[in-house]
Each structure stands twice: as structure tokens, then as C-alpha cells.
Structure 1
Amino acid sequence: MELRRQHQQGYEYVDEGHGPVLLLLHGLFGALSNWQEVVREFAPDHRVLIPLLPVYDMPLSQAGVPGLVKYVEGFVAALGLPSDFTVLGNSLGGHVALVYTLTNARRVNRLVLTGSSGLFENSMGASFPKRGNYAYVQERVGFTFYDPTVATQELVDEVFNVTNSNSKCLRIIAIARSAQRHNLSKELAKITVPVLLVWGLNDTITPPPVAHEFARLLPHAELRFLDHCCHAPMMERPAGFNAYLRRFLRTTETAPAVAA
């Protein structure tokens, strides 16, 4: 399915379906299309929202996890979303989802993390990369997936173009360094909503021990792994990811939306 982009009050986003809200947050090099199969599966009985995070063009002074959290808060307010929705985040989007939940506890009733940063990540970020070297960028983008062929030429071209823009590179570096500084290990116990962790068993960016550490530190977390899968399970193993998500939503639909 082709995702239809909408614009409102300066926000670009996808808004599909009707029902309980699923708010989806993409990663540092992510895009709205990363969640395409989740939208296809859940739009028939949920309202699926995906804001395009301004990782390439937000003010440099705000380029970081706190700035992205404020952006999400503004997006939620602009669309007038009701409280008690579910937030999903991949990679950096998971990090933003965690901090959003910590600072907006009454709004979030469930949290889903996949390949999330917030504890440890081995990324392109802080030493960003060789300008003009297409083969290097292709290799690093492929590193995100168990099957490097999932990294389409379109995706590689997009990242390559980013690396050749000084202004975009500065923001990417700033955001990546901010994510590395904002370790949440001492804060996770405050999140008491149900949490689903879906991890690629072959994740090389946030490896499986990171998932186990999230499961240990989050009071009400369940951890599920997908084999032959790296850092973006919703893209590489969409059927398995959606099955775990569907089961989690069903079994937690009456859980109280309370966070300390």
C-alpha cells in the first residue's frame, strides 16, 4: 500500500484508519515507509499515526533526543490526540518513545520498542561517515539488515545524499551524540505501563544483550526475538513482528495506563 502523507500546522505525517491510536516513531535514518506493513495490518482496526521526525532540518540547537520529544509533544497537541494511546519506536524512535513516556506518563498506555537505543547502540552516528564514498554508505546501510539486499538502492541513495549535505550531517551527528549521552538505565523503572520488546536475534546495532537489559530494567516488559533479523524487525520480518504486536495489544487492552 502507498502511504498518504498529510500536512497540518507544520507537521508531515501519515494518518490511516480509525480506532485506538498507535503512534509510530521511526529511527535516525528511518522514514514513514519503514512502518508500511504495520499500517497495512493495523489500519483496519486502529488509527495509525506516523509523524515524520525532523532529523535533517530541525534547528541545530535543538537537534537531540529532548528536541525530538518536544516535537512529538507538539504533534500530539496539534492533532488533539486523546490520552491512553500506544507508542511504538524503532532505534532512535524507541529512545524518543521512552523519554516521551517518562515525561507524559498519563498519555501512554502501552509501549513497543524494537531495536531501541537508550542503553547502548553501535551506530554510524558520532563519527559520521566518509563523504562521497558510496560503497561505504552502502555497506553501512546494509549493516542494518540481516539480509543486506533489503537495503534497496533507493534507501542507500537517500542516506548517501544525507552524508553529502553538511547541514544534515551536523544534525545527524548532534542527534546521535545526544542519544549516546542520554542513557536511560536509571530511569526505566519509572515506566510501569506494559512494554513489548521485539528484537532481531541478529541485531548488530543494539545486540540481543541490550534487549535483555531493557527487559530486566522495565518492570512490565515482555521480550520476543525474531531470527534471521537485524535492527528493523518491522521491515525484515513484518509477519512475525505484527503477530507479536497483535497478541500484545489483545492481552494488554484492559491493562491500567499508569506510570510512576
Structure 2
Amino acid sequence: MFWRKQRKAWERLHPLHRQLAEEQRFSATLPAAEWAELATGLATHDQTITKRKWRLPPRAASVLVPVLRVLREDMEPGAPLGVTTDLRGAVVPDKGGELRGLQVRPPALAGSERFFTDPWLLVRAELRDGSVLELAVVDRVRQRRIRKKSRSGKIKHKVKEKPVRVVRATRRLPKGMAVARPAPPAPAWLAVTAQQKENGRTVLRATAKGPAHADHRVIELILTVTGELFRWTPPRRSAATPRRAR
């Protein structure tokens, strides 16, 4: 009976939701309104699906869901929103580069080094104000393996990893949109550039780089980086409130 209920709940999920639970990754472009169903399902996954093999990666609820909800607020329901996410982790074979040897000194016998590149969240959204926002969250990991021989003659293997996270946001403005450098300026750790194109459009870019240990602060970093691009343009005017009839 329990299994039948789980199966029915599983079959009611959005196809991308099921793919993320099974493969821990997906890539799709859908209307912004359709992502609302997926975001709701991901946020309540643990309440409806308890089977271990269908558990979602932690970043699905802590990062992907907030990003989808924030973007939808600035998009028309039918505007396209493209998302590519891979939550398998950085240290997997198909994300690694070539293995190269390291020069070592005794008591080390041998050493090797490998770099992994993990673009685990890529987003492209067409916003209501006519601009296009692109977001990339990439983890880069340097992994070193050292083989040593202890004084007792035992062979030991040591693995050391150094992860770095890069969050990059690009906002391509519609032609003629005003741009002004904000005050106060962005913090020193956040690099921002404004490029004027020949067609009269402006492209704003913001990049932040730091350690990749604090996953609970990823969404805060994403919002800070993308939010900086909106400080360079005037706020969107809200519709005028009709005057009350006397």
C-alpha cells in the first residue's frame, strides 16, 4: 500500500523533477509560468516522496528553488527561462581534466594532480524590462593525491582538495536603456564592468570568486552578484494607483 502511494506521487511529479531525482541533473527551456509548478514540487519534495533512491540533492531546495522564484517575479508568464543544472558534485570523472604527475620529495613516493570544472548552475532569462540575464555558478577543484611510505614501511595515500567557486552574472540591456555608475560602489571582491556595444546596447557583467565550502550561503552570493547589475539602471516604474472617486 505504501509503495503504491509513493509510485502515484512520483508519477504526478513534473518530468524535470523526476529527472533531477534520478539523474541529479537536467537542462531545459520552458515558459516562466511552467517553472512555478516545478519550483513548488521541488520545495515540497521531502513531504511527498520519502523513498531514499528518489531523494533530491540538497542544492535543489536551497539554491535552485529560490533562483527560480526570484527570476519569475521579473518575467512575463510566457517568457522563456532556460536552466541547466548538474548537482552530482564536482569530483566526477567527466568533469575532470587530464591527470598530471607532481615532483615529490621523500618520504613521498609519487604524486598526481587533477583539476575539475563543475558548472552546476547555468541560467538564461528574458526579463520584463527587455533585458536578458545570464547566470553561471561554477566550482573549480584542484585535487592532489600523494603516496607516502611511513617509517614502519606502510604505504599511505593522501588526497587533498582545494575548491573555488565563481559566480558570474551578465545582463544585456535593451537598446537605449540608461546606465549610470551607482553610489556607493560595489565591494572590492565583486568585479563589475559595463561595455557599450556598437549597436547601442550595453552589457553589464559582475563576477565574484571565493571558497566553495559554504553551500548555505550560495543563494546569498547569487543575489548579491545579480543584484549589483540592477543598481546600474533606474528602477522600473510601477503602475500608477488610480485616484479614489469622490
- Whichever structure has more helix as a proportion of its residues is 1
Give me the TM-score of the superposition, normalised by structure 2.
0.29
Whichever of the two has the greater Rg, that structure is 2
